[in-house]
Homo-oligomer: A and B are copies of this chain.
Amino acid sequence: MADKAVVLVSGGLDSTTALAMTRAEGRECFALSFDYGQRHRRELASARRVAAALGAARHLVLRLDLRAIGGSALTDDLPVPKGRSPEAIGHGIPVTYVPARNTVFLSHALAWAEVLEAEAIVIGANVLDSSGYPDCRPEYLEAFERLANLATRAGAEGQRRFRVLAPLIRLTKAEIIRRGTALGVDYGLTWSCYEPDADERGCGLCDSCQLRRKGFAEAGLEDPLPYAR
């Protein structure tokens, strides 16, 4: 029986590549997404397409209400920053940071991993070409792995050790895109834009669009997504 992995899948470029890499290792993948009150809900349609295209054994979309908690431009009616320079992105924590989001996501992934008897929890976090969110750092992910093994029946009884895998953690966006392309990922299925009103085309100017476009340019590959500007 193949090893099982719970893979966080947002519908974006990074988590899609992490899913493709985990599948390529021969693991049975259980894709997990969240309808958490994000204004760019468009990403969930991409998450469904990606999970199906990459052969996830199951795809679970859980509803959460992070909008009731607020504190982010991704859940509140605050403007999403546009046109920040590539140098500014990744310095300081931007208003698109959602308080404790990865802790909320990973805690659900842990619950599902325990029920599925999966060893691995996979997250597409990376630090080089990222928005500078604190809950994407390696020290954070190591702390979560330690917590996971104290939190659970499986960990407490020593039946199994959970591992938190972040296969992209030290890759640049260009390297991520090259890896995924080599694995046959169709990035036309994915969605990166933070802009709530964007639908068929990315806005091209938010941090997420900019990091993505810079990555494709550096990889020397064409981004299949259209942009408004």
Contacts and interface: CB of A to CB of B under 8 A. Distances in A.
A104 B102 contact: no
Interface stretch (A7-15, A43-51, A111-119): A111-119
Interface in A174-206: none
A110 B98 CA distance: 11
A170 interface: no
Contacts of A93: 153, 156-157
A45 B13 CA distance: 43
A152 B99 contact: yes
A23 interface: no
15 contacts: A63-B65, A71-B115, A93-B153, A99-B111, A99-B153, A100-B110, A100-B152, A103-B147, A104-B104, A104-B107, A104-B108, A107-B107, A135-B150, A140-B147, A143-B143
